[in-house]
Structure 1
Amino acid sequence: MTPELSGRQLISADQIDRPPWPKTKLPKASAVLAEELRNQIVVTKMPEGRDLPSESDLIERTGYSRGTVREALRLLESEGLITTRRGPYGGVRVSRPDVSQATRSIAVLLALSDATLGDLFHFRRVVECATAALAATNATEEQIAAMFRATEDEEQETVEGVVSFHNLIADSCDNEFYRVTMGYVLNIAAWHTPQAGLSHNDVCVARGAHVDIAESIAARDPERASEAMDRHLKSFLAVIKKSGHLDSPVLRPETWANGTAHL
């Protein structure tokens, strides 16, 4: 037979037995079980606190080893989807992931990137002004009252207090995408801000801006609320720029090295 067959080479039996492509890697049993449980929780929207089968029940139902079941449960617990407790009153229960858990993953990416504090503030101006406008439309009277209480709280004169006010606005906008996104952003902002050399006076000025924002939201004026937030962020941006930190990494690698990364 001619070695030429429409420009194609014949495949030998040896090549059929041992294909040149890599073999498909099968998922670990623990990952398969974790995926099954994850699907049940998410697809059926199981409420927080719902009991799931215990470790021993899962072993009996699935036929997996104790080590496999425990590893699957550890995976889900690391994602914040379940909590596990041992003892007579223990068990496996559905929980809800905390924003800080996802923030850690994002923080690692940012720490390894060239993202700057200036990048963070430019992003905040886009997203947070829209969040304030939504809050002016959707915030409940109880949420607005909480904003005013926050502006009167002495804790507002701390970095943590400043960030907590912004979280109140995110929680009041009635849009999960904005709320979750702002949760990530504000966690990262809270981490970096203490390193930015802010004075006590800077924080007090921010507190005054919060009053203006709260009043705009209470007036149910989205445009005014957005403008008040933009003024506040631009003012804060100017302070950061004056301090020389605008081009600093948004998450400094040495923070991780020194063990001070606590998102």
Structure 2
Amino acid sequence: MADATRKKRISTSGSSTRPDRPSLVDSVIERLRLMIFDHAPEQRIGSLSGLASQLGVGIVTIQQAARVLENEGLLAARRGPNGGYYGKRPTAEVLERTLAAYMRGEPSTWKEALDMTSLLFTELAAAAADCRDALLLDALTRFLDPVEQCPDEESMAAIEQQFQNLLFKMVNRPLFELLTRVTLNISVNQSEHSVYRGLIGLELWKSGRQRIIHAILEGDGELARFEADRNNRRAIIRQISAPTE
């Protein structure tokens, strides 16, 4: 009888159906993250002992949580009379490195990001048509030459990156810019990820980009959107029609 009871207790304690609970450190990380965003950047969040007392946890738990948030670019530890933990905001460079590392570790996300940037590019092109900066418009006019002179599909990703960098100067789209920069950088730096390889031919890319540039220079946002969308649909059609291995 005792053996049967003991076996039942072991079986119950080892059950895999019990839902996972967030660890104490994970809970503290989330609470600290909320505190950080409740304060202005560079504002003191609290001292090590003060935060431990406020959150009802040990000093070691605060230190562990703080290390994670420091790596995220959200927290900085400072010494001295006003020492303690200060909230920060991650820079675009930190976010770009983090996102690029994630996408390289999860290769399937690269295709997803490419689909997103292709769709958002139509809005970027349309918004660029509202730019009235003479220097940027002149730079866009001069960019027609490198597009026309692009020698092969291997060079397309690098030129596309330059083109979109110019459009980002004409339009304030920080989140889209971050995602696009990461996607295009991976495309340029990794041969297995060419943005347009197999999606659209060189001549179609050239003519499409030229039409988009002319529409932007004319200040016609709807035409720029139409041309960008037409390019995207051509790429999708080629992708669907491509034979699978």
Fold shared, TM-score > 0.5 on shorter chain: yes
Match of 1:166 in 2: 164
Match of 2:23 in 1: 28
Match of 2:76 among 67, 76, 84: 84
Q: TM-score, normalised by structure 2?
A: 0.57
Match of 1:193 in 2: 188
Deviation at 1:128, TM superposition (A): 0.9
Query: In structure 2, do the counterparts of structure 1 residues 121 and 16 end up closer, same or farther at CA, with 3 Å as the change threshold?
Result: closer
8 Å contact 2:44–2:86 — kept in the other structure?
yes
Distance in structure 2 (CA, Å) of the matches to 1:49 and 1:212? 46
Higher RCO by CA contacts (8 Å cutoff, separation 6 or greater) = 1
Query: In structure 2, do the counterparts of structure 1 residues 216 and 32 end up closer, same or farther at CA, with 3 Å as the change threshold?
Result: same
The answer to which of 67-76 and 225-234 deviates more is 225-234
**Deviation per CA, 1:29-87, whole angstroms, max 9, x where unpaired?**
22111111222344x4x44333322434323433433321122122223333x141444
How does 1:3-152 map onto structure 2 within 5 Å? 22-42=17-37, 44=38, 46-80=39-73, 82-88=74-80, 91-96=85-90, 98=92, 99-100=95-96, 101-109=98-106, 111=107, 113=108, 124-137=117-130, 139=131, 141-142=132-133, 145-146=135-136, 148-149=138-139
Distance in structure 2 (CA, Å) of the matches to 1:212 and 1:54? 58
Instruction: Give the aligned CA root-mean-square deviation in angstroms.
Output: 5.1
Aligned AA for 1:169? L
Query: In structure 2, do the counterparts of structure 1 residues 212 and 147 end up closer, same or farther at CA, with 3 Å as the change threshold?
Result: farther
Distance in structure 2 (CA, Å) of the matches to 1:107 and 1:68? 31
Distance in structure 2 (CA, Å) of the matches to 1:151 and 1:69? 55
8 Å contact 2:122–2:228 — kept in the other structure?
yes
Match of 1:250 in 2: none
Identity %: 17
1:219 has 2:218 as partner:
yes
8 Å contact 2:212–2:227 — kept in the other structure?
yes
Distance in structure 1 (CA, Å) of the matches to 2:87 and 2:183? 29
Query: In structure 2, do the counterparts of structure 1 residues 41 and 121 end up closer, same or farther at CA, with 3 Å as the change threshold?
Result: closer
Structure 2 stretches lacking a partner, 5+ long: 197-201
Deviation at 1:234, TM superposition (A): 9.1
8 Å contact 2:40–2:87 — kept in the other structure?
no
Distance in structure 2 (CA, Å) of the matches to 1:66 and 1:207? 60
